[in-house]
A and B are shown apart, each in its own frame.
Chain A
């Protein structure tokens, strides 16, 4: 199985800060990396798919990049409503493993 290593496990940043989360795959997954947001007590929501494609309706302050084994998720200007746990997921091969998650909080 492909392993997904996400870092950091948590972070605290101020409103307006740039936030970066990394996700590393244990083998080459090409562009097949999704990012999900799960707000406290809520259902997960797709934010980015194919490493860098923004899901319809998601604010443009969210972005993703990377290819192969190393991927980055960025919030360009953190907003209070972005408080959530973010998960990467590889979708290159079964099983479709999720990363461990990154909890984002406001300082």
Chain B
């Protein structure tokens, strides 16, 4: 069975750094794109970015194909540890407006023309002084 298990809830102060994780199991990790979605309190879904966990067939050898929404470019970093089958979402300096639930999801199909068929359980991030 496919599972995406995310790290636990976090409470942080503005200006602090944070890295949350999404561990995949039950399938060939390097075959599917992983996407991140934000949901602010009481609000809708926002697509943040996407990464392909296979660095063996990319334009830039040794790098991972990663794409960001313009709304999140420069605000977060998406990375991967292939050896741990884990994708990460990282902030260098949190803001109160980063408060929300963050979901990872496995994308079936290409980076476009695909769909998020398996989701993690979500990680609640609270940023408050």
Contact = CB atoms under 8 A, between A and B. Distances in A.
Contacts of A55: 117
A34 B37 CA distance: 15
A36 B119 CA distance: 11
Given A1-B70, A43-B122, A96 B112 contact: yes
Interface of A is mostly: loop
Interface in A61-107: 85, 87, 89, 91-101
Contact of B47 (A32, A49, A96, A101): A96
A92 B111 contact: no
A95 B114 contact: no
A46 B116 contact: yes
Contact of B112 (A44, A85, A94): A94
Most buried by B among A45, A50, A94: A94
Interface of B is mostly: strand
A93 B119 contact: no
B37 to A, nearest CB: 8
Interface residues of B, number: 25
Contact of B44 (A1, A92, A96, A98): A98
Contacts of A89: 45, 47, 115
B128 interface: no
Nearest to B71: A95
Most buried by A among B103, B115, B119, B121: B115
Which interface class (under 10, 10 to 19, 20 to 34, 35 or more) fits A? 20 to 34
A101 B117 contact: no
Interface of B: 35, 37, 44-47, 50, 67-71, 103, 105, 111-117, 119-122
Given A32-B113, A45-B119, 9 more contacts: A32-B112, A43-B120, A44-B103, A85-B44, A87-B44, A87-B45, A93-B112, A99-B44, A101-B44
Top 7 A-B residue pairs of the complex, sorted by shortest distance between their CB atoms? A95-B69, A49-B115, A101-B44, A98-B45, A96-B47, A34-B115, A43-B119
20 contacts: A34-B115, A36-B116, A43-B103, A43-B120, A44-B37, A44-B105, A44-B116, A44-B119, A50-B115, A85-B44, A87-B45, A89-B47, A91-B115, A94-B67, A94-B111, A94-B112, A95-B69, A95-B70, A99-B44, A101-B45
